[in-house]
């Protein structure tokens, strides 16, 4: 498969999927063609009786990033697909960096519901999604060695770093980003940042996660919530996924606010599931400490991509989308949530002061408060 600046062609990706699966596929529909990836819905009419229909083919470009994402996707689906909460892995080719998975159909994503107009449906979808994330963690509990073995096989010879490995570096070096808006290094900050990365390390109550649990990476299918996009899958701290709700949605393009009572109800759903793996999470002090440090980790990590966009201007995060936050609006929301969370228990005072200083330094942006999701207004 030949990749260039425009990626590969539909025919090339369909051919790679056919070779991986061992039977002829026909490319029907491009589902994604960007970020040097292509995702196709393909007709599979040569499969075993009862299994004919359509499949999804996902292809990655050569190079460290493509190799790492391919290995994580293939590994995550190989295990999570057995849970009933994710697509089933049908084939994977390390040679062409192509994954073939079962087709979940045309169900709406959680993002579709939150950005829509049906409040009851959006609220119910969020609660089901939070519980599904927790159920997947429970289903995968204790399978770290199995996942590590599969990942080694799919990543053989890969030069790519493990998914999520950049977060520690970015958090520890966040003073460099703060300097871009004139905020100096604060006394005691370095020690607190070391504490943050330690308390959200993979050793801190690890759970399996797809990695990027943005609302557009989940489908609300008739059979229940199905999680997709396992390019950053693996075991990481339970608090990193819990903080996704509280912030909300740490890395997502379609981030708006959630009503406090709904966010709390969703967090309760997730926590009830993961406490089955880690009973200590039932302790409120331990839970709040961990989640707040994960909020700090995600918020500071986001300054390596979101602050750059905010300084370049105040365009929406995704062009051509009716409902998308503006870069400056979301960056200030991240700092505001971080400051509020840390002030609630007095923890990490230097980090809290950093968030307040960043807010003060960017008042001139005149960014409006981030509104609620359209369906929840």
Model confidence band, residue 323 (pLDDT cutoffs 50, 70, 90) = confident
pLDDT at position 197 over 90: yes
Does domain 115-376 correspond to CATH entry 1.10.357?
no
DSSP type of residue 92: E
**Which pLDDT value is given to residue 313?**
87
Question: Over pLDDT 70: what percentage of the chain?
Answer: 93
Indicate whether this model's pTM tops 0.85. Answer: yes
The DSSP-derived string for 22-57 is TS--EEEEEEEEETTEEEEEEEE-SS-TT--EEEEE
Beta bridge partners of 372: 257
pLDDT at position 158 over 70: no
Model confidence band, residue 3 (pLDDT cutoffs 50, 70, 90) = low
Q: What is the CATH number of domain 1-103?
A: 3.30.200.20
> In the predicted model, what is the mean pLDDT of the chain?
92
Dihedral pair phi/psi, residue 300, rounded to 5°: -70, -35
The residue ranking higher by pLDDT, 292 or 315, is 292
**Which pLDDT value is given to residue 73?**
96
**Which pLDDT value is given to residue 143?**
95
pLDDT, one tens digit per residue, over 159-188 is 545 545 689 999 999 999 999 999 998 999
Provide the Cα torsion 102, 214, 254, 341; round to 10°: 170
Question: Over pLDDT 90: what percentage of the chain?
Answer: 78
pLDDT, one tens digit per residue, over 92-150 is 999 999 999 999 999 999 999 999 999 999 999 999 999 999 999 999 999 999 999 99
**Which pLDDT value is given to residue 356?**
98
**Which pLDDT value is given to residue 351?**
98
**Which pLDDT value is given to residue 10?**
85
pLDDT at position 33 over 90: no
Longest Cα separation, the chain:
67
* Calpha distance 95→44 (Å, rounded): 21
Say how many C-beta atoms besides its own lie within 10 A of residue 49's C-beta: 5
Beta-carbon-side half-sphere exposure of residue 261 (alpha carbons within 13 Å): 1
CB 313 within 8 A of CB 327: yes
Least confident of 30-34, 88-92, 120-124, 204-208: 30-34
pLDDT at position 151 over 80: yes
Q: Where are the domains of the chain?
A: 1-103, 115-376
Q: Which helix (H) or strand (E) holds 267?
A: helix 260-274
Model confidence band, residue 6 (pLDDT cutoffs 50, 70, 90) = low
**Which pLDDT value is given to residue 166?**
87
89-93 β-sheet, strand order: 26-34, 37-44, 53-59, 98-102, 89-93
Q: Coil, strand, or helix at residue 347?
A: coil
Q: What average pLDDT does this structure show over 258-268?
A: 97
**Which pLDDT value is given to residue 319?**
66
**Which pLDDT value is given to residue 222?**
87
């Amino acid at each position: 498969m030949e990749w260039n600046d425009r990626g590969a062609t539909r025919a090339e990706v369909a051919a790679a999927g056919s070779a991986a699966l061992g039977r002829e596929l026909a490319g029907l529909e491009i589902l994604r063609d960007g970020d040097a990836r292509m995702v196709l819905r393909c007709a599979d009419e040569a499969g075993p009786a009862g299994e004919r229909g359509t499949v999804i083919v996902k292809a990655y470009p050569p190079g460290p990033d493509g190799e790492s994402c391919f290995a994580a996707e293939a590994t995550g689906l190989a295990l999570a697909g057995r849970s009933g909460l994710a697509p089933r892995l049908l084939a994977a080719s390390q040679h062409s960096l192509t994954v073939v998975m079962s087709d979940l159909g045309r169900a709406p994503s959680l993002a579709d519901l939150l950005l829509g107009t049906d409040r009851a449906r959006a609220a119910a979808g969020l609660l089901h999604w939070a519980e599904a994330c927790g159920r997947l963690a429970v289903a995968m509990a204790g399978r770290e060695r199995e996942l590590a073995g599969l990942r080694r096989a799919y990543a053989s010879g890969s030069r790519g770093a493990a998914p999520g490995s950049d977060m520690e570096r970015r958090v520890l070096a966040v003073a460099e980003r703060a300097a871009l808006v004139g905020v100096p290094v604060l006394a005691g900050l370095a020690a607190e940042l070391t504490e943050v990365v330690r308390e959200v390390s993979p050793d801190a109550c690890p759970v399996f996660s797809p990695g990027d649990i943005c609302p557009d990476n989940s489908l609300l299918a008739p059979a229940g919530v199905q999680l997709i996009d396992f390019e950053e899958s693996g075991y990481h701290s339970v608090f990193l996924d819990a903080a996704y709700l509280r912030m909300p949605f740490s890395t997502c393009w379609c981030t708006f606010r959630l009503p406090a009572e709904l966010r709390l109800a969703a967090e309760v759903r997730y926590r009830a599931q993961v406490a089955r793996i880690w009973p200590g999470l039932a302790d409120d002090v331990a839970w709040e400490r961990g989640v707040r440090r994960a909020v700090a980790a995600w918020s500071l990590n986001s300054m390596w991509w979101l602050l750059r966009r905010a300084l370049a201007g105040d365009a929406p995060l995704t062009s051509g989308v009716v409902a998308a936050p503006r870069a400056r609006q979301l960056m200030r929301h991240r700092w505001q949530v971080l400051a509020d969370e840390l002030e609630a228990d007095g923890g990490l005072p230097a980090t809290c002061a950093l968030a307040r200083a960043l807010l003060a330094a960017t008042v001139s942006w005149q960014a409006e408060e981030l509104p609620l999701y359209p369906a929840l207004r």
